[in-house]
Structure 1
Amino acid sequence: MKKVTVLGAGSWGTALAMVLAHNGHDVRLWSHRKDQANEINEQQTNDKYLPGIRLPDEITGYHELSLALDNADAVLFVVPTKAMRDVIKQAKEHLTSEQVLMHASKGIEPETHKRISEMIAEELGEPYGEKIVVLSGPSHAEEVALKQPTTVTVSSLQLSESEKAQDLFMNNVFRVYTNEDFIGVEIGGALKNIIALGAGISDGLGYGDNAKAALITRGLAEMAKLGVKLGATPLTFAGLTGIGDLIVTCTSQHSRNYRAGHMLGEGYNLPDVLDKMGMVVEGVRTTKAVHQLAEKEAVDMPITSGIYDLLFEGKDPRQVVDDLMQRGKTNELNALSVDFKN
């Protein structure tokens, strides 16, 4: 049994805490909201994020960060990108280099264009950077909480750290693979949220499966193109954190990004959509960051650019689709060979 602290009591953090608890670990689930921590302890529920689900007795809610991290063997960050640096700074004095340090958040930071692991390493410094583990893959929190079969990937610059995370999480319904492509695993998990917004927009406009299939396929090419430019391995995007995560996020009502995109396609403006969602839609922030990063790296990402124009420049959704459909002629195999070029 290990003492594992999960920082972030949203749906995904809570679901992962449940996996750890089912594996027999002593789990501390930290929330920045005292009432949420109290609900976890008094009712064994987290109804805002996982309604109707009873949490295992092995999960204890915490509001005081220092207590949650006291003598922890492993720490898992599961907070939105916009809150990540603040939480890291609060946690820093309570962390040790002997702990297994993991994150399961998906996003890119605007302006700095840093991945989550880079944000953590920058705030914590050495010797933490080499030890960070990312957990990612096609995994709706609602299904994980119900113990439905799920597969994910863990990656780190040190294989031994990945294997420690694998041992913590793996069980008969939650299968965990390791992958040495640290950059690719993080990039895939972040960028798929942009394409999920697009899939929701397409459905919200009333377009059919043909349009969504094209969006997912060409979206995957964009993800791989940028990932490879940043040092990722192309094959990673054919795996769980590429096409796997795209499928699950672009085709399900469980996906916040898909639901937000659907409302945008129906004609709602972005502030109203975010208000109605009531939870973080990570793809919005990631779209801004990746649009900036693509321009910086001179990578052509027309789908991402179109969604950026819709979100931040007020462009009409149908015009975005029209512009994508009327781009210049090209050869698909030539395009793919560029997209996946090492």
Structure 2
Amino acid sequence: MKISLLGGGRWGVALSCHLGRLGHEILVYDRNESVVKLINEGIHPYIEGISLKNVRATHYLEDIEKYSNYVLIALPVQAIREIIGRLDLSKKKVISASKGLEIGTYKRVSQIIKEIHNSAQVFCLSGPSFASEVSKGLPTALVLAGEDHEQIRKIRDIFFSENFRIYLSTDIVGVELGGALKNVIAIACGISDGLGYGENARASLMTRGLTEMVRIGVKVGAKRETFYGLSGMGDLFLTASSTQSRNRTFGFMIGKGTPPQKAFEEIGQVVEGAYTVKAVKKLSDHLDVYAPISEAVYKIVVEGEDLKSVVKSLLLRPPKDEFETI
């Protein structure tokens, strides 16, 4: 099967690598001509020693539009609106593998796509997945969400392999929010680790952060149980605890005393949570939802408030019932 893919970054190329191994023909769009050149030479541009099979690349968007009825999106969320606005995705099956919320509108990726291309069928692929491990064919489990039961099963079969398990969900709101909100909690966990607060603190932040994710998600119509699955708890656990995580690394550097902007520049890749936290702040204010961990990250990363003062005020909050009514 032919599949178009927007985004020649680590995650996009990792998905191309996986799909190519299964015999699908992939055409990747990237605006960076050096990335396009490497992919067309069969070389993974970011992970040494990984070769690409059945994968080609282009820096012309019109090639993507004509290539396939299936379009996979693996772009930074803040770039999606501009790029898909230059395409005609009507009547196509669009699968978002991007995680985050749009700054300003606090919209999920499926909402952005449907706003621009109302007749497109939209699906979401999310869960705990580092690009380097998917590229190498290591075991991974993800969740695919969509409203069309027959079509999500077809898409599952396109991706499914012994080392790439796909579970199904009809809760696209919860699956997308889990992938977005966990990045902010991962930054908080990184800050805690950088401050040397230990593993007890990280476990507490992950658990209370998950509660925060559920609180926001349920308020906008997501199913509570979705956040206890792969796209919520699974992705949060991976992103908040691994040194491979850009969001956790970003927070860790801040905890060690690096100013947020300098940390962002030194990482040199997209730190989606640094953008998402702005949208989460706006969304939680709009919903009047209590989200103290996300708010603390916002104060540190966006407003530049003193790190130790923000952390101290977070720790001194009066404890509530663990399972408060939402």
TM-score relative to the length of structure 1: 0.93
Over residues 285-322 of structure 1, what are the superposed CA-to-partner deviations in whole Å (9 max), with x where a residue is unaligned?
A: 10010001100100000000000000112122222221
Q: In 2, are the aligned partners of 1:133 and 1:165 still within 8 Å (CA)?
A: no
Q: In 2, are the aligned partners of 1:132 and 1:161 still within 8 Å (CA)?
A: no
Measure how far apart 1:40 and its partner are: 1.1
Match of 2:14 in 1: 15
Note if 1:119 corresponds to 2:117.
no
Q: In 2, are the aligned partners of 1:40 and 1:61 still within 8 Å (CA)?
A: yes
- Whole-angstrom CA distance in 1 between matches of 2:295 and 2:24: 44
- Whole-angstrom CA distance in 2 between matches of 1:155 and 1:169: 13
Match of 1:68 in 2: 64
Q: In 2, are the aligned partners of 1:6 and 1:13 still within 8 Å (CA)?
A: yes
- Whole-angstrom CA distance in 1 between matches of 2:276 and 2:153: 29
User: How does 1:198-237 map onto structure 2 within 5 Å?
Assistant: 198-237=188-227
- Whole-angstrom CA distance in 2 between matches of 1:321 and 1:161: 46
Matched AA of 2:100: G
Match of 1:46 in 2: 44
Provide the secondary structure at the position in 2 that maps to 1:9: coil
Measure how far apart 1:64 and its partner are: 1.2
Provide the secondary structure at the position in 2 that maps to 1:27: strand
Which runs of 5 or more residues in structure 2 are unaligned? none
- Whole-angstrom CA distance in 1 between matches of 2:65 and 2:11: 19
Match of 2:35 in 1: 36
Match of 1:81 in 2: 77
Matched AA of 2:94: L
- Whole-angstrom CA distance in 2 between matches of 1:30 and 1:165: 20
Provide the secondary structure at the position in 2 that maps to 1:91: coil
Measure how far apart 1:57 and its partner are: 2.4
**Which one of 312, 319, 324 corresponds to residue 329 of structure 1?**
319
Measure how far apart 1:253 and its partner are: 1.4
Q: In 1, are the aligned partners of 2:76 and 2:270 still within 8 Å (CA)?
A: yes
Provide the secondary structure at the position in 1 that maps to 2:86: helix
- Whole-angstrom CA distance in 2 between matches of 1:82 and 1:96: 21
Match of 2:152 in 1: 162
Work out the number of aligned pairs and report it: 326
- Whole-angstrom CA distance in 2 between matches of 1:232 and 1:313: 29
Measure how far apart 1:88 and its partner are: 0.4
C-alpha spacing 1:41/1:71, structure 2 compared with 1 (3 Å):
closer
Provide the secondary structure at the position in 2 that maps to 1:32: coil
- Whole-angstrom CA distance in 2 between matches of 1:96 and 1:54: 34
Q: In 2, are the aligned partners of 1:205 and 1:318 still within 8 Å (CA)?
A: no
Provide the secondary structure at the position in 2 that maps to 1:175: strand
- Whole-angstrom CA distance in 2 between matches of 1:157 and 1:57: 32
**Which one of 236, 255, 259 corresponds to residue 265 of structure 1?**
255
Identity of aligned residues (%): 38
Provide the secondary structure at the position in 1 that maps to 2:161: coil
Over residues 24-74 of structure 1, what are the superposed CA-to-partner deviations in whole Å (9 max), with x where a residue is unaligned?
A: 1001111111121011112x2233xx3214232201111111123323131
Matched AA of 1:124: H
Measure how far apart 1:96 and its partner are: 4.3
Over residues 103-162 of structure 1, what are the superposed CA-to-partner deviations in whole Å (9 max), with x where a residue is unaligned?
A: 10011112211111000111112x22xx20000000111111111100000001222232
Which runs of 5 or more residues in structure 1 are unaligned? none
Provide the secondary structure at the position in 1 that maps to 2:87: helix
- Whole-angstrom CA distance in 1 between matches of 2:321 and 2:63: 58
- Whole-angstrom CA distance in 2 between matches of 1:55 and 1:5: 19
Provide the secondary structure at the position in 2 that maps to 1:313: coil
**Which one of 90, 97, 101 corresponds to residue 104 of structure 1?**
97
Over residues 254-299 of structure 1, what are the superposed CA-to-partner deviations in whole Å (9 max), with x where a residue is unaligned?
A: 1110111111111111211111111111001100100011001000
Matched AA of 1:143: E
- Whole-angstrom CA distance in 2 between matches of 1:135 and 1:88: 18
Q: In 2, are the aligned partners of 1:66 and 1:91 still within 8 Å (CA)?
A: yes
Over residues 75-118 of structure 1, what are the superposed CA-to-partner deviations in whole Å (9 max), with x where a residue is unaligned?
A: 101111111011101222xx341x32111001111221111100
C-alpha spacing 1:53/1:61, structure 2 compared with 1 (3 Å):
farther
Provide the secondary structure at the position in 1 that maps to 2:105: coil
- Whole-angstrom CA distance in 2 between matches of 1:116 and 1:201: 27
- Higher deviation after alignment, 160-169 or 133-142: 160-169
User: How does 1:131-280 map onto structure 2 within 5 Å?
Assistant: 131-280=121-270
Which segments of structure 1 move beyond 6 Å, counting only runs of 4 or more?
Answer: none
